Amino acid sequence: MNVKGLFFTVQKALPLFKDGGSIILNSSVSNVLGLPGFSTYAASKAAVRNFARAWTLEFKDRKSASMQ
């Protein structure tokens, strides 16, 4: 849910940022800590973190959207 929902929401939202804007993504410390019983949650939060990193680089020259 975390990853698919994030991906498809950003995909649909980007064209709406015609005059610039930011997309704020929320993650948690679980994306870097291995906690027993939270492997799926931690993996999905790591995906959110890495989407943010990749999208920041991909969209850095695009005036219509920035990733925070």
The 3-class secondary structure across 13-42, one letter per residue, is: HHHHCCCCCEECCCCCHHHCCCCCCCHHHH
Q: Count of domains in the chain?
A: 1
What's the pLDDT at 68? Answer: 46
36: annotated active-site residue: no
Distance CA 66, CA 11 (A): 13
What's the pLDDT at 1? Answer: 64
Q: Which of 11, 13, 52 is nearest to 31 (CA)?
A: 52
What does each of the 68 residues of the chain score in pLDDT, given as a tens digit?
679 999 999 999 888 887 778 888 888 877 777 788 888 888 888 898 899 999 889 887 776 544 54
3-state SS class at 66: strand
Q: Which one from 41, 46, 49, 59 is the annotated catalytic residue? A: 41
Q: Which domain holds residue 47?
A: 2-67
